[in-house]
């Protein structure tokens, strides 16, 4: 058999029944020898297609690469190596319902660990969501003012060319819209890491929007709770601190933060398992980054099958 044909036939195809009928799913990598006691599962977009990658956290090698994020499809692939799955002791994943169900169904002996970095990212996003909400409200108010001025101008009451738009200026010299737009990055940081300008901007913004400040401090409290230093801490103490944080969130009553709290509660056991094992999905994120660099170096993935062949050789 010629080399090119070998490259294109090294992957597996599986068929699944969907609402649309029978569909074929590509499985570029399926290597049971790469399945170990500590695994990680994550998704990765390659070209226009979403893929699921299951990798060995100890060796860094890919065990399964499926061109799908459909739980049924991934489950059928794993059925081909089901005799190896009972050796898995821990599996790290994000907080998606699909991966949670997949791990429940297939990694039945494994303790699931929600990835710390996905959790922290979601917490920070809740703060950003509040900021964006206020910015959209400010933009809406500005649009309504401008529309009103246009109506007045048509009636001859106001010369719109001479009308100066008056926006509230905060104590740091920025308008509310400017401060809301420019405060994005400071919300990612702890207060101790702010620059002088970021400190001035934050103080002005928090004075105008105390709800943003409240969420910021609650998110920082949560980030302190889930720090690496707390791994292997007494579990009673860990749970007590989380329950106290939950109460603070409920008292604050801010929708975006309540949504994040609900997400933590839905996956609470896997979140708490971080403090038992200290494992994260870092190896999966590292593989994703390497594949992305691989895509850039090879100027895309136009010949997808050859790309899969090379990923197999380099990463599994």
Judge if 28 and 98 occupy the same domain.
yes
142 pLDDT band, cuts 50/70/90, is: confident
Reported in sequence order, the residue ranges of 7-61 that DSSP labels E, i.e. its strands, are 12-18, 21-27, 29-30, 38-46, 49-56
Asked if the model's pLDDT at residue 300 lies above 60, the reply is no
Judge if 122 and 142 occupy the same domain.
yes
Which of 48-57, 147-156, 240-249 holds the top average pLDDT? 240-249
* Ordered alpha helix ranges (H), the chain: 3-9, 71-79, 82-85, 97-106, 116-154, 176-182, 196-208, 210-225, 235-252, 255-266, 268-277, 282-297, 304-315
Q: What is the pLDDT of residue 212?
A: 97
Asked if the model's pLDDT at residue 163 lies above 60, the reply is no
Residues 253 and 265: their CA atoms lie apart, in Å, by 16
Asked if the model's pLDDT at residue 154 lies above 50, the reply is yes
Judge if 94 and 185 occupy the same domain.
no
Which of 75-79, 135-139, 156-160, 304-308 holds the top average pLDDT? 135-139
Report, as an integer, the average pLDDT of 114-136: 96
The per-residue pLDDT for range 62-112, each reduced to its tens digit, is: 999 999 998 888 998 899 898 899 999 999 999 999 999 999 999 989 999
Residues 41 and 283: their CA atoms lie apart, in Å, by 10
Contact present, 261 and 249 (Cβ < 8 Å):
yes
Judge if 111 and 89 occupy the same domain.
yes
Judge if 237 and 148 occupy the same domain.
yes
Judge if 139 and 254 occupy the same domain.
yes
Please give the residue that has the higher pLDDT: either 39 or 292.
39
Task: Note whether residue 143 is domain-resident.
Answer: yes
Task: Note whether residue 248 is domain-resident.
Answer: yes
Q: Nearest-5° angle of CA 127, CA 264, CA 121?
A: 40
Residues 46 and 300: their CA atoms lie apart, in Å, by 9
- Beta 12-18 vs 21-27: how paired, if at all? antiparallel
Task: Note whether residue 163 is domain-resident.
Answer: no
Judge if 242 and 294 occupy the same domain.
no
Task: Note whether residue 290 is domain-resident.
Answer: yes
Judge if 230 and 197 occupy the same domain.
yes
Structure tokens at 179: 């401060």
Q: What is the pLDDT of residue 305?
A: 77
Judge if 267 and 287 occupy the same domain.
no
Q: What is the pLDDT of residue 78?
A: 92
Q: Nearest-5° angle of CA 70, CA 75, CA 80?
A: 135
Judge if 145 and 272 occupy the same domain.
yes
Query: To the nearest whole percent, how much of the chain has pLDDT over 90?
Result: 61
Task: Note whether residue 144 is domain-resident.
Answer: yes
From 186-195, 209-218, 262-271, 277-286, the region with the lowest mean pLDDT: 277-286
Please give the residue that has the higher pLDDT: either 16 or 124.
124
Q: What is the pLDDT of residue 229?
A: 95
Asked if the model's pLDDT at residue 44 lies above 90, the reply is no
Instruction: Give the CA radius of gyration of the chain.
Output: 25
Q: What is the pLDDT of residue 23?
A: 75
Q: What is the CATH number of the domain that holds 24?
A: 3.30.420.10
Structure tokens at 213: 């400040």
Report, as an integer, the average pLDDT of 173-177: 92
Judge if 51 and 133 occupy the same domain.
no
Reference 41, options 81, 69, 13; nearest CA is: 69
Structure tokens at 220: 């920082």
Sheet holding 49-56, edge to edge: 29-30, 62-66, 49-56, 38-46, 90-93, 111-114
Residues 248 and 301: their CA atoms lie apart, in Å, by 48
Q: What is the pLDDT of residue 9?
A: 41
Task: Note whether residue 204 is domain-resident.
Answer: yes
41 pLDDT band, cuts 50/70/90, is: very high
Report, as an integer, the average pLDDT of 2-7: 42
Total structural domains within the chain: 2
26 pLDDT band, cuts 50/70/90, is: confident
What is the domain extent for residue 28?
A: 3-115+280-315
Task: Note whether residue 165 is domain-resident.
Answer: no
Judge if 124 and 33 occupy the same domain.
no
Q: What is the pLDDT of the chain when averaged over all its residues?
A: 87
Task: Note whether residue 164 is domain-resident.
Answer: no
Q: What is the pLDDT of residue 308?
A: 79
| Reported pTM | 0.85
Report, as an integer, the average pLDDT of 14-22: 70
Query: To the nearest whole percent, how much of the chain has pLDDT over 70?
Result: 89
Contact present, 66 and 27 (Cβ < 8 Å):
yes
- DSSP, collapsed to helix, strand or coil, labels residue 214 as helix
Residues 290 and 276: their CA atoms lie apart, in Å, by 29
């Amino acid at each position: 058999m010629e080399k090119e044909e070998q490259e294109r036939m090294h992957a597996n195809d599986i068929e699944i029944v969907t609402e649309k009928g029978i569909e074929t799913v590509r499985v570029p990598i399926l290597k049971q020898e790469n399945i170990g006691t500590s695994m990680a599962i994550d998704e990765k977009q390659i070209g226009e297609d979403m893929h699921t990658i299951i990798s060995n956290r100890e060796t860094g090698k890919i065990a399964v690469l499926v061109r799908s994020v459909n739980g049924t499809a991934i489950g059928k692939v794993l059925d081909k190596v089901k005799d190896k799955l009972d050796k898995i002791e821990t599996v790290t994943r994000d907080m998606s319902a699909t991966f949670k169900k997949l791990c429940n169904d297939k990694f039945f002996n494994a303790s699931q660990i929600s990835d710390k970095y996905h959790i922290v990212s979601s917490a920070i996003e809740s703060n950003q969501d509040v900021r964006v909400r206020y910015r959209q409200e400010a933009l809406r108010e500005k649009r309504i003012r401008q529309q009103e001025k246009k109506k007045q101008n048509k009636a001859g009451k106001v010369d719109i060319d001479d009308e100066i738009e008056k926006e509230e200026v905060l104590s740091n010299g920025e308008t509310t819209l400017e401060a809301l737009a420019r405060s994005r990055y400071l919300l990612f940081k702890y207060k101790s890491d702010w620059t002088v300008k970021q400190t001035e901007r934050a103080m002005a913004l928090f004075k105008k929007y105390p709800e943003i400040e409240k969420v910021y401090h609650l998110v920082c409290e949560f980030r302190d709770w889930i720090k690496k230093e707390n791994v292997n801490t007494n579990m009673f103490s860990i749970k007590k601190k989380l329950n106290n944080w939950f109460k603070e969130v409920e008292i604050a009553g801010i929708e975006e933060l309540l949504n994040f709290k609900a997400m933590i509660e839905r996956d609470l056991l896997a979140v708490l398992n971080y403090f038992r094992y200290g494992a994260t999905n870092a190896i999966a994120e590292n593989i994703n980054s390497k594949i992305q660099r691989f895509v850039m170096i090879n100027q895309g993935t136009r010949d997808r099958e050859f790309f899969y062949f090379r990923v197999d050789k380099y990463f599994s």
